[in-house]
Structure 1
Amino acid sequence: MIRTAIVLALTVLCSLNVSRAMAIERSELQLASVNAAVAYADDEGLVYGKNADRRVPIASITKLMTALVVMESGEPLTEWLDFRERHIPAPANAYTRIRVSSELRRSDVLRIALMSSENFAAHTLARHHPGGYDAFIEAMNAKAVELGMLKTTFVDPTGLSVDNRSTAADLVRLVRAASQYPQIREYSTTRYFTAQFRQPRYRLAFGNTNVLVHRESWGVGISKTGYLSEAGRCLVMLFELDGKPLVTVLLDSLGTRSPMGDAGRIKRWLTTGAGGSVAAAARAYERKKNAAYAASDGASVSVN
């Protein structure tokens, strides 16, 4: 009798919790990012999409695919790689503090490419791929097809080219695949790192480009930022929300901190239903970019 009462009480409590969860009335989510996608890592489909199927430049978000190809190549992470003079011109400004001819272990080259978005590091990883640079680009595109990223194209490993294009929905697939590698999770969320180069021997300090990795409350499991003038400010993340891994893809924002602000708005929207608000300048930027996208390829604006 007592056991039956306990079971009944627990059933009622669970029903109340479900009812409360279902009772959350969500306002329309307001984001500064022009294109976005939100999904639980373990579920198919999107929780939210904003122009999620629009093909756009993705800047250094590219480096997540670079990391995935490196890991799947099976090449030893302990191998020392030399930084060779570029064999092709960089598509955009590629300033680096790394000295030509110096060496660094592949694991650390990958780490600084992810956490600090070091372009020379990403380029060097491709140069040392079996078959060389061109084979690396082919592997990037082959992996995209394998993952079902059918609207994605890569032409370089850094993201400096505006011809590296994808969609927010496709990038959700990329984050899910990258999250299967503990090294990518660790390297992309490293807060600070001092790289120890040799020949010549010197050190360089690097910091993570995403301020949210420094906040324990976020539990960030994967992070990658990106920026080109044509791509705007971009951010992809995997973080824990109520015990479930959530993927957020935020593409083309005006301000440096706008994607981080959007991540916070998404988090509040899912937990409280509050849609938030964005600055007037962000709204104006979005209208301008939507008009430019429509003019260039006839893309229609859709919010799901």
Structure 2
Amino acid sequence: MLKKGLSILVFGAMIFAPTLARAQSNFNPNFIISDAEVQDSHSWSRDDVQQFLNLRGSFLRTYTAPDASGTPKSAADIIYEAGLNYNINPKFILTTLQKEQSLVTDDSPTQKQLDWAAGYAVCDSCTTDDPGIQSHKGFGNQVDNAAGIIRWYYDNTDKSFVKKKDVATTIDNTPVTPQSWATAFLYTYTPHLHGNTNFWRIWETWFGQTYPNGTILKSASSSEYWLLVDKTKRQFKNMTALITRADPKLAITVPDADLANYTDGPIIAFPNYSILKSANTTYLLDYDTLRPFASDEVVRAIGYNPDEIIDVTDTDITGYVIGTTITTSSTAPAGVIYKIAELKEPYFYVKDGIAKPIEKQIIDANFKKLTTEKHTLADLQKLTLVMDPVDFQDGTLLYLTDINRFYVVENGKKRPIADRETFNIMGYKKTNALPISMAVAARIADGEQIFLNSSLLSSKEKFLGDSEAPVADIFKSSLPAYLIAEYPTGRIVAGKNIDTKFPIASLTKMLTAYEALNQNFDLKKSTVYSTKKYASEGNVLKLKNGEKILNEDALASMLAISNNDLARLIAQNSGPSSENAFIQTINDRLADWGADSTQIVEPTGLDPKNISTPRDLLKIFVNIMKNDIIKTAINRPAYTFKAIYDPKIGRRKIVNTNLLYTNKKLPYDILASKTGYINEVGANLLMLVQDKKTKKQYVVITLAEKNYTKRFVEPDRLAKMLVSGQIKLANLTN
């Protein structure tokens, strides 16, 4: 009889509450990178460095400069040789160059960026004109100095100014206890959280072991296939070994430089479920386990063909785990699927006399090669029933159709892929994803989110606003904070207090709109307004209880005139189950984007605890502008729509809250704009402007203007100076 009651078999019909919370792997200020990683100087060859620069379309791929001895060399040679000379990983040097001056991704770096490539000898209060630091000027010197100082730190840990492993310190008013010498040295080199968070993010994006366990990778330069297991890559010796474990069409093609991020594991030499015969024993290969047959008679009794037996030496099978012995009483030692017609949930995975429930989708995804046999309930009752359902195998790509979201299974958990950009960059294909329902997804625990920064990986989308290079207040603004940057690269050309946090007021609504659209907020549907659910200060449209508004008009009105009620309406009618859940998805996305100094607590901007910095707002804006719907909505001087809830009103016209739109004589065009105001901070403004003559585009961000009546005066002055030539941005190249 069954070892457990059949009543348990209704598990498949139970209702599971969806628990699809996203997990985010956060920056740990106490441990940024290991000492082994920093000192792995042989991780890459010179050609690997060159290929890395080539793949990213980097300016440095063709750049030559004198090295520290004055000999002209390529950037790749300078980086590689500095790594060898000081026993420092060339990947560490590349990450430093990106963190300090965005040199890997900047298509046209200034001479100043190249001359101070690693930020070496340039302190927060220094200028690059200081005569005392000119000996460190030049790309070759900077690379050599940056690698050399890390080696010097390792050799001089007793010096008082060198931060210490396992010794508490304070960085930007935050207590930190470095858990590796490398982490301590990073804080010695750059004593700020922002710069080191940026270092970690760059390192993880470029060199972190990004793909989950179970992923099949294919070399872009050869026919080699590899299986990822516990941060190692295991090569398949031949196609037979591959196809008995996985479907080759699921493989993701990657450059060899990406494969080099994983250490080599044991080669997968034999097809799965091979019969291997050593001098003394015959085995069934069950993935990485060798299961001995009790005797040759058992091999024959089970029905294996002698021609299928592979002779091996003890060396061939070194490293395999020895599993349970197979006897004549072993039922389906290689596994089989039972289908029980009498049961509502008919499928069971049977192996060694043990039966486990399994869903048809898991069979299709991971067990297609197993035979499905029709059996009766009486047959099942002869087996031991274990009610732990069979999970999806590691590396399985899932598509949750209810919310249009992709996941990858790893260690029994589903890891959400952050966005479509990450999905595409990593090489996943929708055709390889297994569609699942919310009920199936809810049974799988949540794992850490998978996110890649496209601006660090794509040769087309590059964001340069994270550079640690000093930012000058060349516009001499009276405002507490402002920032001006090139668009779309994000290269910051001027600013003041760009890393200081301020309440952002209604600039919040850009995030509300972006997240709503990513949560499938249906613009073609309408929503009934409820004062109980949505009422808040700032109902500019004077919506009444029970009135209906088209979602498209709600989104446009929220952005154009900062209607707060509509922000709450949109937040509560998007994907997540509550407004609080909606806010959490915004903060998760901000973490994905690296907007580390931004925190949102509600969707309108009325709460002064919605905070950000000018640098973060630049990053947020550049990302949001990739959405064409929002890009159009925040570039409307006015917006007209039909009031569907009251035919007597007819068409309604709303005017953008940025009054600069009304000035037709401006020397610049406003391509996008969002205003914000609350008493706690004053007036904020974010604009994308275009020089009417040169057609160059710039982001202008101004914060904390306390004089409400003059809230557009300083932004206008900055934009006019920007396009008039009064400020020579070209001088920044010196």
Q: Which amino acid aligns with 2:659?
A: V
Asked if the contact 2:688–2:699 (Cα under 8 Å) also holds between the matched residues in 1, the reply is yes
Q: Which amino acid aligns with 2:569?
A: T
Q: Which shifted more, 100-109 or 28-37?
A: 28-37
SS in 1 for 2:492: coil
Partner Cα distance (1:108, 1:88) in 2? 16
CA gap 1:133/1:54 in 2 versus in 1, 3 angstroms: same
1:94 paired with 2:538, answer yes
Partner Cα distance (2:478, 2:686) in 1? 14
Q: CA deviation at 1:221?
A: 1.9
Structure showing greater relative contact order (alpha-carbon pairs closer than 8 Å, 6 or more residues apart): 1
Partner Cα distance (1:257, 1:146) in 2? 37
Partner Cα distance (1:94, 1:215) in 2? 26
Report what 2:683 is aligned to.
233
SS in 1 for 2:683: strand
Partner Cα distance (2:640, 2:725) in 1? 41
Partner Cα distance (1:114, 1:274) in 2? 33
Report what 2:566 is aligned to.
121
CA gap 1:105/1:159 in 2 versus in 1, 3 angstroms: same
Partner Cα distance (2:697, 2:724) in 1? 18
1:132 paired with 2:578, answer yes
SS in 2 for 1:189: coil
1:71 paired with 2:513, answer no
1:61 paired with 2:507, answer yes
Partner Cα distance (1:44, 1:191) in 2? 25
Partner Cα distance (1:169, 1:100) in 2? 40
What runs of 5+ residues in structure 2 fail to find an aligned partner? Answer: 1-471, 728-734
1:147 paired with 2:593, answer yes
Partner Cα distance (2:725, 2:669) in 1? 21
Q: CA deviation at 1:43?
A: 2.2
Deviations, residues 44-67 of structure 1 (Å, cap 9, x unaligned)? 441111111111111101111111
Q: CA deviation at 1:126?
A: 0.5
Q: Which amino acid aligns with 1:108?
A: D
CA gap 1:61/1:240 in 2 versus in 1, 3 angstroms: same
Asked if the contact 1:32–1:259 (Cα under 8 Å) also holds between the matched residues in 2, the reply is no
Q: CA deviation at 1:248?
A: 1.0
Partner Cα distance (2:611, 2:497) in 1? 14
Partner Cα distance (2:703, 2:615) in 1? 11
Cα RMSD (Å): 2.3
Deviations, residues 121-163 of structure 1 (Å, cap 9, x unaligned)? 1111011012231221112111211111100000111101111
Asked if the contact 1:175–1:238 (Cα under 8 Å) also holds between the matched residues in 2, the reply is no
Partner Cα distance (1:125, 1:146) in 2? 22
Partner Cα distance (1:214, 1:165) in 2? 29
Q: Which amino acid aligns with 1:270?
A: L
Deviations, residues 9-47 of structure 1 (Å, cap 9, x unaligned)? xxxxxxxxxxxxxxxxx9941324211111112224411
Report what 2:704 is aligned to.
252
| Structure 1 segment 103-252 matched on structure 2, within 5 A | 103-130=548-575, 131-201=577-647, 202-203=649-650, 204-215=652-663, 217=666, 218-241=668-691, 242-252=694-704
Q: Which shifted more, 101-110 or 151-160?
A: 101-110
Report what 1:23 is aligned to.
none
1:265 paired with 2:709, answer no
Asked if the contact 1:27–1:274 (Cα under 8 Å) also holds between the matched residues in 2, the reply is no
Q: Which amino acid aligns with 2:538?
A: A
Asked if the contact 1:236–1:247 (Cα under 8 Å) also holds between the matched residues in 2, the reply is yes
Report what 2:489 is aligned to.
43
Report what 2:396 is aligned to.
none
Q: Which amino acid aligns with 2:556?
A: R
Partner Cα distance (2:532, 2:619) in 1? 31
Partner Cα distance (2:605, 2:477) in 1? 24
CA gap 1:266/1:136 in 2 versus in 1, 3 angstroms: same
Report what 1:30 is aligned to.
476
Report what 1:301 is aligned to.
none
Q: Which amino acid aligns with 1:227?
A: Y
CA gap 1:240/1:80 in 2 versus in 1, 3 angstroms: same
Higher fraction of helix: 1
Asked if the contact 1:33–1:258 (Cα under 8 Å) also holds between the matched residues in 2, the reply is no
Deviations, residues 252-297 of structure 1 (Å, cap 9, x unaligned)? 102335443223322333344547xxxxxxxxxxxxxxxxxxxxxx
Q: CA deviation at 1:240?
A: 1.2
Asked if the contact 1:60–1:159 (Cα under 8 Å) also holds between the matched residues in 2, the reply is yes
Asked if the contact 1:221–1:238 (Cα under 8 Å) also holds between the matched residues in 2, the reply is yes
Asked if the contact 1:35–1:252 (Cα under 8 Å) also holds between the matched residues in 2, the reply is yes
Q: Find 2:527's aligned residue among 65, 78, 81.
A: 81
Partner Cα distance (2:661, 2:631) in 1? 11
Partner Cα distance (1:209, 1:88) in 2? 21
TM-score normalised per structure 2: 0.32
Partner Cα distance (1:235, 1:210) in 2? 8
Partner Cα distance (2:538, 2:709) in 1? 22
Asked if the contact 1:123–1:157 (Cα under 8 Å) also holds between the matched residues in 2, the reply is yes
Deviations, residues 156-181 of structure 1 (Å, cap 9, x unaligned)? 11101111000111101111112112
| Structure 1 segment 282-301 matched on structure 2, within 5 A | none
Q: How many matched pairs? A: 248
CA gap 1:153/1:233 in 2 versus in 1, 3 angstroms: same
Q: CA deviation at 1:89?
A: 7.4
Asked if the contact 1:27–1:273 (Cα under 8 Å) also holds between the matched residues in 2, the reply is no
Asked if the contact 1:33–1:259 (Cα under 8 Å) also holds between the matched residues in 2, the reply is no
Partner Cα distance (1:70, 1:134) in 2? 13
Asked if the contact 2:473–2:495 (Cα under 8 Å) also holds between the matched residues in 1, the reply is no
Partner Cα distance (1:208, 1:188) in 2? 9
CA gap 1:250/1:165 in 2 versus in 1, 3 angstroms: same
SS in 2 for 1:180: coil
